[in-house]
Amino acid sequence: MISGFWEGILQKRRFSQVKGEISGSVLDFGGNYGELGEYLKLKDYHVTNGAFSGGSFDTIVLLAVLEHLERPVEILLLLRSCLKPKGRIVITTPTPLIHPLLVFLSWFFLDKKNIEEHFGYYTKEGLKRIGESLGMKMRYKRFQLGLNQRVVYEFR
């Protein structure tokens, strides 16, 4: 399936952008089948695609997930409560610039349903406001020609 091929390539690009930010016990929220854990050979790795029973983690990861959440701040507040004191939340999410391109590519290469499930696209300023509402500081980096972004939220 061609869409699976391209999505696999994009997934590995996201993995390469976050590998230096992931350490300790990891919760991969929305992590499909645990591909991140396999790719990075993580030992203390947990994946969930929805409900979870809590826990205490050094790193919580949401790769290409934030844009699919109807109430992202509520979910992030819940996830923050599962962080250890020096923990972090690592996120990748597309920038608003990519929306027209994703819609176009969904006709040929990408999973159209997946793109239609995007509730929103975030600017750097919007992501900073989310971090402030979490009481966390933000580190930010764009990648893939500015069409994607990595955010790391850490306790102040």
Listed by start position, the domains of the chain span 2-155
pLDDT of 57 > 70? The answer is yes
Instruction: Dump the DSSP string for 139-152.
Output: EEEEETTTTEEEEE
Mean pLDDT on 20-24: 96
pLDDT of 34 > 50? The answer is yes
Mean pLDDT on 58-81: 95
Mean pLDDT on 112-129: 84
Q: Between 89 and 2, where is the model more confident?
A: 89
Q: What is the pTM of this model?
A: 0.87
Range with lowest mean pLDDT among 16-25, 62-71, 98-107, 114-123: 98-107
Amino acid residing at 110: L
Q: What is the pLDDT of residue 1?
A: 36
Tokens of residue 131, six digits: 């971090």
List helix spans (H) across the chain: 2-18, 35-40, 72-80, 99-106, 112-116, 124-134
What CATH number labels 2-155?
Answer: 3.40.50.150
Q: What is the pLDDT of residue 110?
A: 60
